[in-house]
Structure 1
Amino acid sequence: MSRSYFAIYLLFCLLIAIAVWMMSYSLILQLVWKDGRILHLMTTTNPFAPLQQFLVYSNSRPLRLAAIGSLVPAIAIAAAAAAFGLRRPANPLGDAAFQDTASLRRGGWFRKDGHIFGRAGRNTLRRKDDRHHLVIGPTRSGKGVGYVIPNALMHRGSLIITDLKGEIFEHTAGYRASKGSGVYLFSPGSAKTHRWNPLDFVRTDRGSRTLDLQNIASILIPETSGSENAVWQGIAQQVIAGVISYVLESPQYKNRRDLGEVNSFFNAGVDLQVLMKLIKEKEPDLSRFTSESFNAYIALNERAARSALLDIQKALAPFRNERVIAATNVTDIDLASLQRRPVTIYLAPNITDMTILRPLLTLFVQQTMDLLTREHNENALPVYFLLDEFRQLKKMDEIMNKLPYVAGYNIKMAFVIQDLKNLDEIYGETARHSLLGNCGLQLILGANDQATADYASRALGKRTIRYQSESRTLELMGLPRRTRVEQIRERDLMMPQEIRQMPEDRFILLVEGQRPIFQTKLRYHLSEPFKSAAKYAAEHPVDVPETEFVVTLPVPVLSTGDNQASNLDPETDEAPAPPDMQMTTENAGTGAKKVARSIRRRPGPNAVEKAKSTLTSSESAPAGNRRAQIERKLVPTGTRLKTAITASLAAAPDMPFSRRKNIQEILAQTIPDPAEIGLE
């Protein structure tokens, strides 16, 4: 029912009330006071005679009583007419409809604060509540100019926003800084960035520390349930958590506690199991968690160890980049103050680097979420996660699990995607339904795929359509007879094809507990105050520090200079040896201590050259001294290695010939020929 029809019908009911009042007034005078003159005038020459008499003689008590008594039938009849005429027709098949301007005003959509969704005429549609948002729209549908940038400009509180193109930072950072917000740009891999070290936020108390380490490991190496690799992924999580724990607690890693060092540990070029054994010998005071993680990896067979190591190296791939290492070695971004004062963080990796940097961004978002939900504070500042291009982030099960209750921590989530298939590809259909159920405000800016169009059409609901059919028949006398039949049927408020063909300047907003909204998109560069705010931001850019590269250092235990560390020299030509080719022996005759060696570890092509250079540098010395120097350097090492390999071969008479031959070749390459270096 339109507003004009409603107003006209109310005026009609008012006229009915006046007419009934005048008639009742005349009848009361006729029946009670036996005066029929007013009734006669009203029915003959002057229909307004009762009203005129009352206005002139309103001080008369009998006339006032007659007037008051006449109100009862007048009001009753007018109310009945209004109820009959304004009642809505029955809609047994559905009464879906969009909100009109009056209902929007009653619903509080024209407020001065809150999150921005679009325009209704000259008014901006804004909503302030604790419900999460889902924004769906294909490329160039106005997600950025209509939702992301306006809300990034006007949100009051802390903001974490993904900005893969760098446009949001350019158009909003300066304005937010002018409003008192701390502004940070985390752009790993770029020439300018603020820094964030995830290991700085690991708690130090025993129980919490273990949980934080396991959370980091599960984010870096997500476990794929039901996959054949799930076992290796679980082992890899345990091992990487143990190494992170070691880096955090070892005194040798002071001022070096970051994931770049963790990556260096796993790419040291030595046998990882032997390295862990050496660390346990040199640092016996390791925590229980670290020791058990090391023991779990040391106990693995060759295949399991290799599989776990490959998963770990793949997960740590971002930390092979010097700029990423520089961006994660210390922390500039104060995550702990997000709920105390306004802080704005832009996650802005180069879009071409997303494949490599995706795990790092996922770790940032999930770790921040963990920090914000550790303590419940009703007075906490609102934190707004605006995850533009949500599908570009890695699968984040923790966010999906926490989505139903993070609103209680004053945290609002906004997911911006291109279509529902984006969610199905990453999370599956079941998780998609859960996400949709937890997002009370769903902004649909367009649909290029059938799944999104079908969902929007179903969510809008059905309405009842009435139409009449007429049939004509001839009776016996030749007279026509008409029969009219009213039929009803249901229809989608908007059919899927209508949603796909929706005008470019229109949007649909699905609101939990309210009728949907169909209004006009907002363009921040055409509307105030967004236009002025964006202009200010462009004219007052925020300074971002240059990337400071970090000096790469070897694993501390490999640079201590003792004999065991030198035996694990990372400068090797081949990959670390598998666990089942580690050979140790004990020389009982001389009481020599146990020696651990990697079969694949060898001096490489520089070994002989090094020996020759030693010989050349000592040519001026007497022959005896030169011979003694070379023997002291080469003979003990060669003897121990030869003893170890010979003993191992003797202890394994069933070893295949090919493997025995390989070991003998390694022996020949490892111990230089005496004639070649001048001993014979």
Structure 2
Amino acid sequence: MEFKTILSNTDIAYDPKNPGTKVLIGRLGDHLIGIDDNRHLMTVAGSRAGKSVGLISNLMFYRGSVLVTDPKGELANLTAATREKLGQKIYVLDPFKKGEAALAKYQASYNPMDILDLESESILEDAAQIAEALVVSSPDQKDPHWDESARNFIEGVILYVATADKHGHERNLITVRRLLASALVPGEPAGDERTSKKRGAKSELYELMLRSAQELDADEGTAPIAHALRAAALDFFEKGESEIAGVLSTVNRHTKFLDYPAFRRVLQDSSFDLGELKRDPAGVSIYLCFPATRAELSKRWMRLFVNQLLDAMEREKAKPPCWRRPETEPVLQVVPK
């Protein structure tokens, strides 16, 4: 095919003033080239080959919603204000405050536990998804028992915090971490006297979880939550001392990052609803910023956020906002390596 014929093909022509749902991939001579394709795209090139230029250009013009994992914070620094001018809402989650001062007005936070609704039919699955994201198993682990037991206990405490009235204003992972860290602090027995005597002295968290399960049992609609809560408490606290110590050590390893002020800042409450990415006709831009030197510390936070985003995109029934084609999925996930 002749060069002129290629350039005259409107299917690959890219107009930055009206890009539609096309992704800019480069240029031929003075002509910008873009493709309209809902499949995954990946750019592979050596250092300083211009990969970031391609990302920045698309963030300057793409009208749909975007999720940007931004290890250096440079994409947010360079494109957030431009995307705001496109009419989008901008949310920058920057736990380590690596962004420039101009990003201060976009600083946001997101509480993953906001999704846990007592009236939701999927509350058990949603709590399990959060716990699964927190417990990152090693590929060479020899015994999955410790991670599985830790995940089960974390899930139970998440359910307790999400449903107990006393945590109404602090339903977040910071509260979950605080309770997990004090899991063996003694407390007053709950329930009837006979059961309490048979069980003997247990921790305050154990009694709180069982008391909450009793209250949930009173309503047929919340009885399954009560069962899961009680099962998680019994599974952990009825183990032998050495096994409890082993499971608790694993729990602490997977939730340690929740002690750091950086993550507490971006997990305490929510500045937005993930469903906005699909509902808002003007689009929403979310930047997840963290330095490369903190990538290991950030992996659970990243995993949790991306898991919930994908889940929200599947749940959201509203038609996605777009520039021209309503049948095209608009949420662009930008993952620089």
Q: Which category describes the TM-score, using the shorter chain as reference length?
A: 0.7 to 0.9
Higher strand share: 1
How has the CA–CA distance of structure 1 residues 225 and 301 changed in structure 2, closer, same or farther, with 3 Å as cutoff? farther
TM-superposition CA deviations, 1:623-648 (whole Å, max 9, x none): xxxxxxxxxxxxxxxxxxxxxxxxxx
Distance 1:408 1:115 in 2: 13
Asked if 2 retains the 8 angstrom alpha-carbon contact of 1:336 and 1:371, the reply is yes
TM-superposition CA deviations, 1:443-480 (whole Å, max 9, x none): xxxxxxxxxxxxxxxxxxxxxxxxxxxxxxxxxxxxxx
Name which of 360, 378, 381 aligns with 2:321: 381
Distance 2:175 2:117 in 1: 19
1:120 aligns with 2:23: no
User: Alpha-carbon deviation of 1:305?
Assistant: 2.0
How has the CA–CA distance of structure 1 residues 226 and 324 changed in structure 2, closer, same or farther, with 3 Å as cutoff? closer
SS at match of 2:43: strand
1:109 aligns with 2:12: yes
Asked if 2 retains the 8 angstrom alpha-carbon contact of 1:163 and 1:348, the reply is yes
Q: Counterpart in 2 of 1:301?
A: 240
TM-superposition CA deviations, 1:175-225 (whole Å, max 9, x none): 111110001110113385311111112243353000100111111113457
1:343 aligns with 2:273: no
SS at match of 1:162: strand
Q: How does 1:127-206 map to 2 (within 5 A)?
A: 127-145=35-53, 147-190=54-97, 193-206=107-120
How has the CA–CA distance of structure 1 residues 101 and 359 changed in structure 2, closer, same or farther, with 3 Å as cutoff? farther
1:236 aligns with 2:145: no
Asked if 2 retains the 8 angstrom alpha-carbon contact of 1:195 and 1:330, the reply is yes
SS at match of 1:285: helix
Asked if 2 retains the 8 angstrom alpha-carbon contact of 1:194 and 1:332, the reply is yes
Q: How does 1:575-594 map to 2 (within 5 A)?
A: none
User: Alpha-carbon deviation of 1:352?
Assistant: 2.7
Name which of 265, 272, 290 aligns with 1:333: 272
How has the CA–CA distance of structure 1 residues 408 and 290 changed in structure 2, closer, same or farther, with 3 Å as cutoff? farther
Name which of 126, 134, 148 aligns with 1:212: 126
Letter in 1 for 2:28: A
Distance 1:224 1:352 in 2: 20
User: Alpha-carbon deviation of 1:362?
Assistant: 1.6
TM-superposition CA deviations, 1:326-378 (whole Å, max 9, x none): 3211111232211122111111123332221221022111111111111455x
Q: Counterpart in 2 of 1:474?
A: none
User: Alpha-carbon deviation of 1:169?
Assistant: 1.1
SS at match of 1:252: helix
Q: Counterpart in 2 of 1:249?
A: 163
Q: Counterpart in 2 of 1:285?
A: 215
Q: How does 1:242-641 map to 2 (within 5 A)?
A: 242-268=156-182, 270-271=184-185, 274-280=203-209, 282-283=211-212, 284-286=214-216, 287-341=226-280, 342-377=283-318, 379-381=319-321, 410-413=330-333, 415-417=335-337
How has the CA–CA distance of structure 1 residues 415 and 332 changed in structure 2, closer, same or farther, with 3 Å as cutoff? closer
Asked if 2 retains the 8 angstrom alpha-carbon contact of 1:134 and 1:415, the reply is no
User: Alpha-carbon deviation of 1:226?
Assistant: 7.4
Distance 1:307 1:382 in 2: 50
SS at match of 2:108: coil
TM-score by length of 1: 0.41
Q: Counterpart in 1 of 2:194?
A: none
Distance 1:246 1:316 in 2: 17
How has the CA–CA distance of structure 1 residues 152 and 275 changed in structure 2, closer, same or farther, with 3 Å as cutoff? same
SS at match of 1:116: strand
Distance 1:277 1:155 in 2: 51
Q: Counterpart in 2 of 1:557?
A: none
Asked if 2 retains the 8 angstrom alpha-carbon contact of 1:220 and 1:315, the reply is yes
Q: Quick check: 108-117 or 120-129, which moved more?
A: 108-117
SS at match of 2:287: strand
Letter in 1 for 2:62: H
Distance 2:96 2:38 in 1: 35
User: Alpha-carbon deviation of 1:248?
Assistant: 1.0
Asked if 2 retains the 8 angstrom alpha-carbon contact of 1:135 and 1:415, the reply is no
TM-superposition CA deviations, 1:275-300 (whole Å, max 9, x none): 34332465432522211111111222
SS at match of 2:11: coil
Asked if 1 retains the 8 angstrom alpha-carbon contact of 2:23 and 2:34, the reply is yes
Asked if 1 retains the 8 angstrom alpha-carbon contact of 2:90 and 2:284, the reply is yes
How has the CA–CA distance of structure 1 residues 104 and 170 changed in structure 2, closer, same or farther, with 3 Å as cutoff? same
Distance 2:97 2:89 in 1: 21
Q: How does 1:46-125 map to 2 (within 5 A)?
A: 100-103=3-6, 105-106=8-9, 108-112=11-15, 113=19, 114-125=22-33
Letter in 1 for 2:206: K
Distance 1:293 1:231 in 2: 15
TM-superposition CA deviations, 1:512-547 (whole Å, max 9, x none): xxxxxxxxxxxxxxxxxxxxxxxxxxxxxxxxxxxx
How has the CA–CA distance of structure 1 residues 220 and 119 changed in structure 2, closer, same or farther, with 3 Å as cutoff? same
User: Alpha-carbon deviation of 1:103?
Assistant: 3.5
Greater relative contact order (Cα < 8 A, sep 6+): 2
Asked if 1 retains the 8 angstrom alpha-carbon contact of 2:279 and 2:320, the reply is yes
Letter in 2 for 1:157: G
Q: Counterpart in 1 of 2:221?
A: none
SS at match of 1:339: helix
Distance 1:225 1:209 in 2: 29
Letter in 2 for 1:177: E
Distance 1:280 1:415 in 2: 40
Letter in 2 for 1:351: A
Q: Counterpart in 1 of 2:189?
A: none
Asked if 1 retains the 8 angstrom alpha-carbon contact of 2:83 and 2:90, the reply is yes
Letter in 1 for 2:172: D
Distance 2:94 2:257 in 1: 13
Task: Tell me how many residue pairs correspond in the alignment.
Answer: 295
How has the CA–CA distance of structure 1 residues 296 and 225 changed in structure 2, closer, same or farther, with 3 Å as cutoff? farther
Asked if 2 retains the 8 angstrom alpha-carbon contact of 1:164 and 1:351, the reply is yes
SS at match of 1:306: helix
User: Alpha-carbon deviation of 1:245?
Assistant: 0.6
TM-score by length of 2: 0.79
Asked if 2 retains the 8 angstrom alpha-carbon contact of 1:130 and 1:412, the reply is no
Letter in 2 for 1:182: K
